[in-house]
Amino acid sequence: MSIRVGPGDLAKYPFLNEAGEYLRQSGFGWDELEKPEMKEIIDTAASRIAAGTAGQVNDSLERYEKEILVFLVSLILVKSISIEPVLKKYSLSEARRAEKFLTEDLKKQTDPQKRALFAKIFEDLFSLKIDVAENGRLFKVKVTDYLRRSSHFHEQEWRMINRLVSRGFVFLDADEVVRLVRNELAILIHDRVAKMNIPQMPAAIRQKADELRAELAPKVQYRAQAVTEYPPCIKHALEVMGRAENLPHSARVMLATYLLAVGKPVDEVVEVFKNAPDFNEKITRYQVEHLAGTKGSRVKYSVPSCDKLRTENLCFATGDCAGIINPMQFGRKRA
């Protein structure tokens, strides 16, 4: 079956290759970006980037052509801002936006054309083959594909023992299928920007990029911590955060409990996580307060032991760690 990708689909999934083709066929050229009527597109793209950097997800859907252009201009702007944490946060917010549309569309699709389109999106972009299960409600993916992606999820529901499995397939609902590729979608958008080659930046975009850089840089700058006296595991986690990379959940717990245990106030601990690509201040604050024992169970969590951190691959021991059983002892022995 030939797959028809309409403008409505491209507005929701503008990262598909067909979006570029659509713009070419509509006669869109680089010079258009200099025209005064592009101001609205550039401004919308700039606000999406600012919102994405603040951890917000935009799920509005405007005119189809406008959506495609806003996405294109956003990519160019993020490229020219050239701040890695902004790129990471923006990529994640675009991935979350597409995730929302994909989930909604997967839930209501019964049309064979639509099914073919989704199969194409998953196969082309993520090399993941999904089929509709015989009951017509669930989707099935190969066990190997499932395991490759779910192995880094921490929630119990993703463990194979808690899944419906039959004849080499794992059965998932629409939310779960999309959740499975969330990280890959963010990486795809990130890599697309990273590989972009823009020979000559249109003046209007250059000016907007300068404004955005000045506005966003202070918000994502990592506050240099006095990390030299921290144990290597904590130093490593802080460095990962400083590079705006993703830290696994167990490493976040280690970092937060350690910082709280050495007397950092909740505000400061929350601040440490602000570089995380998926940072959401409200959720982070709740989690840190929970670990500090001021919310939820009201039990203050202890820093995990070195043994536990070793089993979670979070230990980066050096000679200075000799003889200690908890990161809290680091430095004390030497003293």
CB closer to ligand SF4 out of 73 and 259: 259
Closest distance of CB 319 from ligand SF4, Å: 10
Q: Verify binding: residue 178, ligand SF4, rule CB under 6 A.
A: no
| 47 vs 53: CA distance, rounded Å | 10
CB closer to ligand SF4 out of 4 and 310: 310
- Long-range contacts (CB closer than 8 Å, 24 or more residues apart) made by 255-261: 256/287, 256/288, 256/291, 257/291, 257/301, 257/302, 257/303, 257/304, 258/230, 258/231, 258/234, 258/303, 258/327, 258/328, 259/234, 260/288, 260/291, 260/292, 260/300, 261/302, 261/303, 261/328
Q: Verify binding: residue 141, ligand SF4, rule CB under 6 A.
A: no
Q: Where are the alpha helices (DSSP H) in 109-231?
A: 112-126, 143-150, 174-180, 182-195, 203-220
Closest distance of CB 232 from ligand SF4, Å: 4
Closest distance of CB 225 from ligand SF4, Å: 16
Q: Verify binding: residue 187, ligand SF4, rule CB under 6 A.
A: no
Closest distance of CB 158 from ligand SF4, Å: 26
Binding to ligand SF4 (CB under 6 A) within 281-320 occurs at 306, 309, 315-317
What would the two tokens of residue 316 be?
């980066």
Closest distance of CB 289 from ligand SF4, Å: 24
| Contact stretch for ligand SF4 (CB under 6 A) within 86-94, 157-165, 278-286, 323-331 | 323-331
Length of the chain equals 335
Residue 138 CB coordination number (10 Å):
18
Tell the residue number behind the tokens 């908890």, with chain if given. Answer: 326
Q: Is 279 exposed, middle or buried (0-12, 13-18, 19+ CB in 10 A)?
A: buried
Q: Verify binding: residue 205, ligand SF4, rule CB under 6 A.
A: no
Give the contact letters, 226-265, x = binds to ligand SF4 (CB under 6 A), - = no.
Answer: -----xxx--------------------------------
CB closer to ligand SF4 out of 14 and 231: 231
Tell the residue number behind the tokens 């990130």, with chain if given. Answer: 190
CB closer to ligand SF4 out of 281 and 320: 320
Closest distance of CB 233 from ligand SF4, Å: 3
Q: Verify binding: residue 202, ligand SF4, rule CB under 6 A.
A: no
Q: Verify binding: residue 330, ligand SF4, rule CB under 6 A.
A: yes
CB closer to ligand SF4 out of 203 and 227: 227
Closest distance of CB 223 from ligand SF4, Å: 22
What would the two tokens of residue 28 be?
């869109």
Closest distance of CB 310 from ligand SF4, Å: 6
CB closer to ligand SF4 out of 272 and 315: 315
Q: Verify binding: residue 55, ligand SF4, rule CB under 6 A.
A: no
| 127 vs 124: CA distance, rounded Å | 6
DSSP character string of 40-94:
HHHHHHHHHHHHHHTT--------HHHHHHHHHHHHHHHHHH--HHHHHHHHHHH
Residue 90 CB coordination number (10 Å):
28
Closest distance of CB 262 from ligand SF4, Å: 13
CB closer to ligand SF4 out of 55 and 327: 327
Residues that bind ligand SF4 (rule: CB under 6 A) add up to a total of: 12
Q: Is 13 exposed, middle or buried (0-12, 13-18, 19+ CB in 10 A)?
A: buried
Tell the residue number behind the tokens 């005119």, with chain if given. Answer: 63
Q: Where on the chain is the footprint of ligand SF4 (CB under 6 A)? A: 231-233, 306, 309, 315-317, 321, 324, 327, 330
